[in-house]
Amino acid sequence: MKSIHSLVYIISFSSILVGCSPKITTTAKKPESTHLALGNPSNAQTNLSSPDNYLIVKPQYALSYNRSKGHANWVSWELSKSWLGSIDRQNDFRPDETLPSSWHKVTPNEYTNSGFDRGHLCPSADRTSTAANNSSTFLMTNMIPQAPELNRESWAFLEEFCRELVGQKHKLFIVAGTYGTGGEGSKGTLSQLDNTVNVPSRIYKIITILPENGTMNDINADTPVIAVDFPNKNSAVQNTGWLRYITTVSAIEKKTGFAFFSNAPTSIQNALQTKRFDYQSTPLNVDSKCRVHNGNSLYIGKSGGCYYINAKGNKTYVERELCNCQ
């Protein structure tokens, strides 16, 4: 009888211990990043079995890397006033050592004398709050072979426009990427650099514009979205502004096979995908740099007025035909 009582006591005490033990569960943890707030366009994964859609999440941006092409499929980042400061451009182009050790790591030298710029997807000037943040944009996983006329003019003008929007108390979510093969640089047409880096034929950017303190909950069917799709071709983009290359997100999705705004409700996602940015009717109040003429940067206003800023900081209007950038 004593043995039975002892057995009951042992079983009861064991049950109490089991009941008090914490539950151990194993769940797959998804990468969390403000730069992927609107979604992961290609469902990239940090997995060696996905070398051409390999997810890299950095504090400064997130990207899908394509090992076969030697550059990113896309780079995604948040742009707000907290990322902007007065840090100088670091210019420390270098391989990205966070790539798997067995993979080829593209070096800056592979672009040398190619006729193509080492073009940033996430711009250096979008990350000027600290030296480390700026330096991160010079990793070669953030670079693409870009036609010099595109990199230094209309693409750069759009980058400046984005930062001006931030100065007007907006927060942006931006995705920039590429598709296709074969571009035209300053030395002619190429499909590859150094037999390792694909030269894309098209370069796109999608910009979602929210209030300065906006969150995902503030996105709706009326949220301003700018989608542009540029040819990576020197002769095609000379003296043109980014307004000429406005398109829809849906058109870019058809070309790339990616899905943008996947974290938004379906009805909002559908509305934003088909929206085409209208510069003249937009509520945004920022004029855009259009082209350079006689050493002056020309700006275009909503009404189509064309002007440059003179030495006294005032607007000097010129013939509208000079701002035929649309």
Q: With a cut of 50, say whether residue 134 has pLDDT above it.
A: yes
pLDDT at 246 (0 to 100)? 96
Tens of pLDDT along 294-318?
Answer: 889 999 888 778 999 999 999 999 9
pLDDT at 28 (0 to 100)? 31
Q: Do residues 165 and 209 lie in contact, with contact meaning Cβ atoms separated by under 8 Å? A: yes
Q: With a cut of 60, say whether residue 26 has pLDDT above it.
A: no
Tens of pLDDT along 153-204?
Answer: 999 999 999 999 999 999 999 999 999 999 999 999 999 999 999 999 999 9
Tens of pLDDT along 89-122?
Answer: 999 999 999 999 999 999 999 999 999 999 999 9
Phi–psi pair at 52, nearest 5 degrees: -105, 10
Tens of pLDDT along 259-270?
Answer: 999 999 999 999
pLDDT-derived band at 324 (thresholds 50, 70, 90) equals confident
Average pLDDT value for the chain: 90
- Which of 5-9, 33-37, 210-214, 306-310 has the least mean pLDDT? 5-9
- Which of 10-14, 127-131, 163-167, 303-307 has the least mean pLDDT? 10-14
pLDDT-derived band at 326 (thresholds 50, 70, 90) equals low
Q: With a cut of 80, say whether residue 7 has pLDDT above it.
A: no
Q: What is the average per-residue pLDDT within 71-99? A: 98
Q: Catalytic residues, which ones?
A: 120
Q: What is the average per-residue pLDDT within 201-225? A: 96
Place of tokens 């008090």: 20
pLDDT-derived band at 279 (thresholds 50, 70, 90) equals confident
Domains and CATH numbers, the chain: 30-281 (3.40.570.10), 287-326 (no CATH)
User: What dihedral do alpha carbons 217, 218, 224, 228 form, nearest 10°?
Assistant: -30
The contacts of residue 26 (CB under 8 Å, 6+ apart) are none
User: What dihedral do alpha carbons 232, 234, 236, 239 form, nearest 10°?
Assistant: 120
Of residues 288 and 207, the one with the higher pLDDT is 207
Q: With a cut of 80, say whether residue 235 has pLDDT above it.
A: yes
Q: With a cut of 60, say whether residue 271 has pLDDT above it.
A: yes
Q: Rounded to two decimals, what is the model's pTM? A: 0.88
The CA distance from 194 to 67, in Å, is 15
Question: With b meaning 16 or more CB within 10 Å and e meaning fewer, what string describes 281-309?
Answer: eeebebbbbbbeeeeeebbbbeeeebbbe
pLDDT at 148 (0 to 100)? 98
pLDDT at 285 (0 to 100)? 77
Q: What is the average per-residue pLDDT within 222-227? A: 97
